[in-house]
Amino acid sequence: MGDQPLRSDKAGELRVADEGRQVRLAGWVASRRDLGGVYFLVIRDASGRVQVVIDPQADPAAGEIAKDLRDEYCVAVTGGVRRRPEGTANPDMPTGEIEVAASQVTVLSPADPLPFQIDDRSEVDETRRLKWRYLDLRRPRMAANLVARSRGVAAMRRSLERQGFMEVETPTLIRSTPEGARDVLVPSRLRPGSFYALPQSPQLFKQLLMIGGVERYYQIARCYRDEDFRSDRQLEFTQLDIEGSFWGRDDVLEALEQVIVEVLGDLRGIHLETPFPRLTYRESMDRYGTDKPDTRFGMEIRDLGAVFAGTGFRAFAGILDSGGVVRGINAGPRGLSRSGLDALGEIAKGAGAKALAWFVVEEGGTLRSPVAKFLGEAEVAGLVETFAAVPGDTLLVVADDAGVVAPALDRLRRHVGHPDPDALRFLWVIDFPVFEKAADGSLAPAHHPFTSPHDVDEMGSDPEHALSHAYDLVLNGSELGSGSVRIHDPAVQRRVFEILGIADEEAESRFGWFLEALRYGTPPHAGFAVGIDRLVSILQGEPNIREIIPFPKTQTGADPLTQAPTGASAEQLAELGLAVVGEAAGEEAGGADPAG
RNA sequence: GGGGGCGUGGUGAAGCCUGGAGUUCACGUCGGCCUGUCAAGCCGAAGAUCGCGGGUUCAAAUCCCGUCGUCCCCGCCA
């Protein structure tokens, strides 16, 4: 050994062209087959795997070591590359034409019996995978996901560097600006009783960079939001954050389209057509009932107001008279039983609708439905025509306030739709409203208060209809990210705070440092942030972002591997001027490392 | 905060509804045989407080209550 390099070649890269070469491999024992007079090993490293043959007759020493090898031993192998004997090539392996005849085998590090097998043959309980995540990362699925993530991020950097962006880091210990999501707080030792927050996004810092003359900024930014977990949400996650000066919305969208094209070219080997479709928020709500439509399938929402204008069906008439809407989708040929249709009704109710009216189109254009008897001939014909329905189609109709009908039809549509799992439908949703209506009917800001409204006067006079320069990127029904044109005029910013009900003094105390910055010649600027975990998880066909994160946390914020979070020692708490009180105080702070 | 699913040798599953001896299957582990295998094969063995606590019962993996862990969804995520 000594000065000799541990490895001369990567296991997965050996080919027939290497025949006759002496090579030195290092990797893990992926499998060992003992045929009684000859051993076959499969050696795996990050590049792939290759078969190694050990002949104890020719090499008694190597044979002795091979006898004791077990799965996942870390080993070094020296030997000659040779073509496999006639008829023994393995077409399923890229290295299947050759094998390495070992002359020397060294155990670099033995391995205990494994808590689960290193292959993708069976689903292993996720908590177990996370507890031994370093072993899970050796499995093909996770290894491939790490590679995909790395290549995706590299493609983003490549595209942005080519477009003249500069990567700048922003702090992760920042002032808390309690808006939106809950902050993750970090206590300060030097100022006991004071706290930093971890950034929910680099929002204000990237705007300061614009004021600082950076003009084209990007960052692969870790973000923290202390809200409940979902399959697409973790306590910490990663965004591609970008911002540009002297820029408008279309500049942002076009720059990002180039980034996405670069990523897809690398990860999927396809060239996406640009520009991506753009829907206004209004259009998206009308056609799909959501601001993140899955356009991999049709079933668009149709408005039936004209069909039922003056209807004798009192349920519909009453709703239309009081300003509600009657809308529906053609769910296509479902062949559903009564109970299946009732189950759809439950889905609609679960989304807030009072009822679902279903119609099955029969031969001759008549409708089978509990409410068919209330409808006139013209209404039946109108329904069939509006949905371009053919016999066998199931029509699902909801009548209520528009704000109730949209989510109900959205949920129904997603439930009955059959999206092509291989399709990738990127689109932009633009012109979001400034405010969205909460469940209780009150108006709440839909975006952060630095988002530029189309017209700040309209924002004050007609808040319900005011639009903002905010936009989202959507892929296959998932929100990948959002951005906006920012306010660069301090006067406008003050008006916006005012309209949002944030008093001058409050704005001053929370954001004074930022408002002052706006006063020193702020360039018009706009930007965006893309959820990298979400993007890669969809491209990898993974059901959740934990598969894309090397060391994720469980739904309760725990890490099964390290057991984080833990309590803190009395010494740590004392230094920080903190005391644990209430129920939490009863729990043992045993996990803390007193040596800290 | 709410609704739902899951928890059975090291791993994955079946068993649970309809209670009756820790029963079954595949993988892994350990030992033996085997000189061209590649999810090697064949033979044999070991390995479990059925997540935990309580209750019902003559009897609980199974039924009930609680609890812990985990996953999915609603709320929440400017």
Q: Could you write out the three-class secondary structure of A225-249?
A: CCCCCECCECCEEEEEEEEEECCCH
At A178, the pLDDT band (50, 70, 90 cuts) reads: low
A539's tokens: 């491209």
Nearest nucleotide from residue A122 CA, by C1' atom: B12
pLDDT score at A439: 64
> Is pLDDT above 60 for A508?
yes
A267-303: pLDDT as tens digits? 999 999 999 999 999 999 999 999 999 999 999 999 9
Residue whose CA lies closest to nucleotide B38 C1': A90
Among A75, A109, A143, where does a domain finish? A109
Output the distance from A556 CA to B4 C1' rounded to whole Å: 17
Q: What is the mean pLDDT of chain A?
A: 92
Distances in Å between the alpha carbon of A174 and those of A284, A511, A527, A535?
36, 13, 20, 27
- Does a structural domain hold residue A201? no
Percentage of the residues of chain A whose pLDDT score is greater than 90: 82
CA distance A515 to A114: 57
In a domain, A589, yes or no: no
Q: Does the pLDDT at position A477 exceed 60?
A: yes
**Among A34-43, A117-126, A389-398, A449-458, where is mean pLDDT lowest?**
A117-126
* A416-430 residue pLDDT tens: 998 998 999 999 999
Q: What is the pLDDT of residue A582?
A: 74
Q: What pLDDT is attached to residue A500?
A: 85
Read off the pLDDT of residues A1-30 as tens digits, 9 standing for 90 and up. Answer: 556 788 999 999 999 999 999 999 999 999
Q: Is A287 inside any structural domain? A: no
What the block records as the tokens of A39 is: 């051993």
Q: Which pLDDT score, from 0 to 100, does residue A473 have?
A: 98
What's the CA gap between A516 and A511, in Å, rounded? 9
Spacing of A352 CA from B72 C1' in Å:
20
Q: For residues A528, A534, A539 and A541, what is the CA-based torsion angle, rounded to 10 degrees? A: -160
Query: CB burial class (10 A; 0-12, 13-18, 19+) of residue A210?
Result: buried
Nearest CA to the C1' of B7 belongs to which residue?
Answer: A125
Split at pLDDT 50, 70, 90, the class of A589 is: very low
Kindly indicate whether the ipTM for this predicted assembly is greater than 0.90, answering yes or no.
yes
Confidence class of residue A189 from pLDDT cuts 50, 70 and 90? very high
What is the domain-level CATH number for residue A396?
A: 3.30.1360.30
The residue from A61, A90, A109 where one domain ends is A109
Q: In angstroms, how far is B55 C1' from A340 CA?
A: 39
Between CA A195 and C1' B58 the distance (Å) reads 63
In a domain, A302, yes or no: yes
Classify residue A464: in a domain, yes or no: no
Q: What is the mean pLDDT of residues A458-469?
A: 92
User: If pLDDT is split at 50, 70 and 90, which confidence band does A350 have?
Assistant: confident
Point out the nucleotide closest to A180 (alpha carbon to C1′).
Answer: B78
Q: Is residue A577 predicted with pLDDT exceeding 80?
A: yes
Per the model's pLDDT, the better-predicted residue between A96 and A581 turns out to be A96
Of A318-327, A521-530, A577-586, minimum mean pLDDT range = A577-586
**Mean pLDDT across the stretch A151-173?**
98
Report if residue A355 sits inside a domain: yes
Q: Which nucleotide is nearest to A203 (CA to C1')?
A: B78
The pLDDT value recorded for residue A592 is 35
pTM over 0.80: yes
Instruction: Give the nearest nucleotide to A450, CA to C1'.
Output: B78
Sign of the CA dihedral A126, A130, A136, A140?
positive
* CA atom of A339 to C1′ atom of B63, Å: 29
In a domain, A359, yes or no: yes
For residue A585, pLDDT over 90 is answered with no
Query: pLDDT-derived band of residue A591, with 50, 70 and 90 as boundaries?
Result: very low
Structure confidence at residue A123 as a pLDDT band (50, 70, 90): confident
For the CA of A265 and the C1' of B64, the distance in angstroms is: 58
Q: What is the pLDDT of residue A586?
A: 59
Please say which residue of A109, A131, A151 terminates a domain.
A109
Rg (alpha carbons) of chain A, rounded to whole number: 30
Closest CA relative to residue A368, chosen from A358, A381, A378, A356: A358
C1'-nearest nucleotide to the CA of A470: B78
Q: How far is the CA of A21 from the C1' of B43 (A)?
A: 40
Query: Which residue segment(s) compose the domain that A345 sits in?
Result: 297-416
Per cent of chain A over pLDDT 70 is 96
What is the enclosing helix (H) or strand (E) of A26?
Answer: strand A22-34
Tell me how many degrees the CA angle A103-A108-A110 measures, rounded to the nearest 5: 110
Asked whether residue A72 is domain-assigned, the answer is: yes
- Indicate the number of domains in chain A: 2
pLDDT for position A269: 95
Distance A251 CA to B1 C1' (A): 42
Q: CA–C1' distance A107–B9 (Å)?
A: 30
What CATH number is given to the structural domain containing A79? 2.40.50.140
| Residue A594, pLDDT score | 29
Nucleotide showing the shortest C1' distance to residue A84 CA: B36
Residue type for position A147 = V
User: Could you say which DSSP state residue A394 is in?
Assistant: E
- Find the nucleotide nearest A30 (Cα to C1′): B38
Nucleotides of B under 7 A from a protein CB: 1, 10-13, 27-30, 33-41, 69-78
